Amino acid sequence: MAKFRVRVSTGEAFGAGTWDKISVSIVGTRGETPPLPLDRLGKEFNAGAEEDFEVTPPEDVGRVLLVRVHKAPPARSRPLAPPAGDAWFCRWLQLTPHGAAPLCFPCYQWLEGERSLVLREGTAKISWEDHHPTLQQQRREELQARRETYRWKTYIPGWPRCLDEETVKNLNLNIKYSVAKNTTFYLRGGSALAELKLKGLLDRKGLWKSLKEMRRVFNFRKTPAVEYVCEHWQEDAFFAYQFLNGLNPVLIRRCHHLPKNFPVTDAMVAPVLGPGTSLQAELEKGSLFLVDYDLLAGVRTNVINGRPQFSTAPMTLLYQRPGRGPLLPLAIQLSQTPGPDSPIFLPSDDKWDWLLAKTWVRNAEFSIHEALTHLLQAHLVPEVFALATLRQLPHCHPLFKSTGLGIGGFSELIQKNMKQLNYSALCLPDDIRARGVEDIPDYYYRDDGMQIWGAVERFVSEMIGIYYPSDESVRDDSELQAWVREIFSEGFLGRESSGLPSTLGTREALIQYVTMVIFNCSAKHSAVSAGQFDFAAWMPNLPPSMQLPPPTSKGQARLEGFLATLPPVNATCDVVIALRLLSKEPGDRRPLGTYPDEYFTEEAPRRSIAAFQSRLAEISRDIQERNHSLALPYPYLDPPLIENSVSI
């Protein structure tokens, strides 16, 4: 019978090799071979190895359709062999029939214990392209097995549903972080903990003695951005700048009509607006902007060190000076209910009154950012995308290959926001238009984000064009439609008002949808996550909690009261350590556009990937050139610093 040459590539990661015995069964149009051992003298399947074997099937199986890879414990008599069942990471398998071209079978999976894995030849296939019954059955069986492994559960009512697992220890190796990533993550956390423990701060529940003490304590591991924040945090221009390019650059919107519950007057804002204009004139010109934290109204607060914490739902009015002048704050109201106990604070007020009002806004920014922009939109929603992908798209599908409030208060915020979260907010061009911020100057999140959105969209358009020749082909892809439907029902709880599609009828709609998924799981996450330590290490700039209630009158604030309002020492340390861990990507980085797992074997998608990488390199050069001229660079959307997906 004809022989086959089998070439096997083992991953390079720590622990990727195995002592177990590996065999393959070749499945063809005429039948299936028994397991054919991949064996030779010496140890096989070491980490990083690419090895050749020769197998001879007992009979002709016809045109090759599938390969089954089997892993079983070695013979007990083998010396130095570890206990049976060690994991193995297979990158790919290449099968070369006698006198024919090689067939590549991408794998990029861990095999644990004694088990088998079915691999398909690497050409991506839509469901309606598989005509052979064996291939059709393989698709069904793969998805059925995944749906049994990855199940949905409701963690908290009103939240997006999530993976039904109680602990990370139970996760399949194929969806866990790598050993390198986890090791770096915990080493960095342990180092920061030890340093603060030695300084006696982790157990200190009292107040900070002074701003100087705070600066002295957190002098470790400062970045240039942290230094800048320490120097400029009290300035009005920097306060306003952070609405554009800080941790949460997605709330600011143009204001043409003041909310009725924010009664700002001409007299209040005249010192900033200057002569020859008025509040109404600036509203009509579109030079005023609003940031409203109304979702925080009535949300329960936490208890820290036995003390209840406080929260507000402030509103901030901002003014864009003519030309390229800086964005500046005009007025702040610390509640949604105006009145004698809720004064409107102004830049002309006493220094400590105004600074305390801005600090309350920054506390609201912390809460909204961590609960909604970061946790909900950059973690919980991407988890929905990932879980639906695992459950509804087989490996051979082209889309699979592209791919101070306390817990109670956070939960309430997420439940509230889930009723408002809509499709346009997840699509950057639509979001920018809806907020009316297309032309506000020096908005680097928008500028860099739109470039990356465009590059992703072009890449997705090319890939969709390869595999979907028409709108009808989109509608006929049952796996694709099940994927979209499951994201709508499980992630957005079937809420029609979200505007999220439950079906896709055109290639254009599919391109936008896939671009949205990729952008939110990569660039958006980087923009709202990577700068957490930079902007929050100097705690007064972004306090996670407030220990005293908000002021109800002016003229009472002093430095002592300001310090007493800020979080206690131990709570500050806890948050700074957590944000340092969350800001700095551990090892095993995979930047946007980098696909070390070569699922695509066809030439056309490989060309599209190369073009995508080239475009991202151009964007990176533009961003780095601009950043050289900025006092505070904006690096968070520089493509080499963006992970392919949420990774921390």
From the annotation, which residues make up the binding site for Fe cation? 374, 379, 525, 648
Measured CA to CA in angstroms, residue 100 lies from 10, 30, 31, 57, 97 at distances of 24, 18, 19, 16, 5
Binding residues: 15, 17, 39, 86-87, 374, 379, 525, 648
Measured CA to CA in angstroms, residue 294 lies from 242, 257, 277, 425, 489 at distances of 19, 16, 29, 17, 27
Binding residues for Ca(2+): 15, 17, 39, 86-87
Q: Whole-angstrom Cα distance, residue 28 to residue 523?
A: 43
Q: Whole-angstrom Cα distance, residue 255 to residue 257?
A: 6
Closest C-alpha among 340, 358, 606 to residue 466: 606
Helix (H) or strand (E) holding 291: strand 288-292
Q: Whole-angstrom Cα distance, residue 553 to residue 342?
A: 7
Closest C-alpha among 80, 88, 68 to residue 27: 68
> Token pair for residue 583?
């800001």
Q: Whole-angstrom Cα distance, residue 624 to residue 619?
A: 9
DSSP-assigned states of every residue in 141-178: HHHHHHHHHS-EE-SSTTSPPEE--S-GGGS-GGGSPP
Q: Whole-angstrom Cα distance, residue 291 to residue 244?
A: 11
DSSP-assigned states of every residue in 426-443: HSHHHHHHHHT-SS-TT-
Residues forming beta bridges with residue 118, ordered by sequence position: 68
Closest C-alpha among 566, 614, 636 to residue 208: 566
DSSP-assigned states of every residue in 435-496: HT-SS-TT-HHHHHHHHHHHHHHHHHHHHHHHH--SHHHHHT-HHHHHHHHHIIIIISTT-G
CA atoms lying within 13 Å on the CB side of residue 622: 14
DSSP-assigned states of every residue in 593-643: T---S----SHHHHHHHHHHHHHHHHHHHHHHHHHTT-SS---TT-GGGSB
Q: Whole-angstrom Cα distance, residue 264 to residue 279?
A: 9
Cβ of 236: how many Cβ atoms within 10 Å? 17
